[in-house]
Structure 1
Amino acid sequence: MTSAPSVTYVRFESPQRHERGHFPGVFALANGLARAGRLTAAQQRFWRAGNDWFDAAYPTPDAAFYDPERYPGAVSWFKSTATHLIERVPGHLELLAAHGVPCREVRSADPGRVIYEDEVQVVVVPHG
């Protein structure tokens, strides 16, 4: 009898905690650069096109899943099977690197308590 393959989850995040205690993800970091007006015109075009592509490519979980009172520390993770999404992240990593913003890849078979799930991602409240 063979066991079902386990899903590994992938997240791209800052190695430094945000003031709310969690590690901001790659999109939050890139969005922060854009909001701060730090992107060049070419970077701004890349960022906008990238965000539009990701917004069209997969569902955006309801903002209620990120409510810090109800779901403290909730963050999104890609399922490792979502290769069509993960393979597009390096462009965002390059954008961050150009501004000296560190971002790391983290993998886990059990990133936390799942509060939202679809075909390509989960939103979890991290364990303890």
Structure 2
Amino acid sequence: MLYIRFHGNYSSPKTKQPYGIFVVIYHLYRDAKLLESDGKLYLDTKEWFEQNLPNPPFYDDNNSVNAVTWFKDGIKAPEMIIYLEPFFNIAKKYNVEIIKSISKELPGILIYEDEYQIGIVPHCANWER
């Protein structure tokens, strides 16, 4: 199994891991750096994911376990990655680097899994780029 994570080039002080693509694009939106049309695209894409990608339970308590999520390279994950295209486009338009990390092994301690993704508590950062 391969695990895939799309993330920025700056890290969360909480998890000590790079912020994932959802947060990186949210930061552009939060900081009012997006044109109105791109802000709407962000909100529409975010809403689609909220309706279609399960929300790991560790996010319900503000992620007290400091976990991060990775897509599983299985049958279902490619569909989710296709729906990330608007975020990739926004990042490119605003010159924000999005890095694709791949791990051939569990990239941490598994604490959550669904058909699309895993939630892990990282134990190291030896990812392929």
From 72, 84, 87, the equivalent of 1:79 is 72
Once residues 85 and 103 of structure 2 are traced to their aligned partners in structure 1, the CA distance between those partners, rounded to angstroms, is 19
Kindly provide the amino acid, as one letter, of the partner of residue 93 in structure 2. Answer: A
| Percentage of identical aligned residues | 27
Q: Structure 1-normalised TM-score?
A: 0.84
**Separation (CA, whole Å) in 1 of partners of 2:120 and 2:31:** 28
CA deviations on 1:49-72 (whole Å, 9 max, x unpaired) are: 1001111112111223721xxx24
Aligned length: 118
Partner residue of 2:11?
17
The answer for unaligned runs of 5 or more in structure 2 is 125-129
State the Cα RMSD in Å: 1.5
Pairing of 1:1-128 with structure 2 (within 5 A): 7-20=1-14, 21-62=16-57, 63=59, 64=61, 66-67=63-64, 71-72=65-66, 74-81=67-74, 82-109=77-104, 110-128=106-124
Normalised TM-score (structure 2): 0.83
Equivalent-residue separation in structure 1 for 2:33 and 2:82 (angstroms) = 25
Give the aligned residue type for 2:78. Answer: T
Q: Normalized per residue, which structure has more strand?
A: 2
> Structure 1: where are the runs of 5+ without partners?
1-6
Bigger radius of gyration, 1 or 2? 1
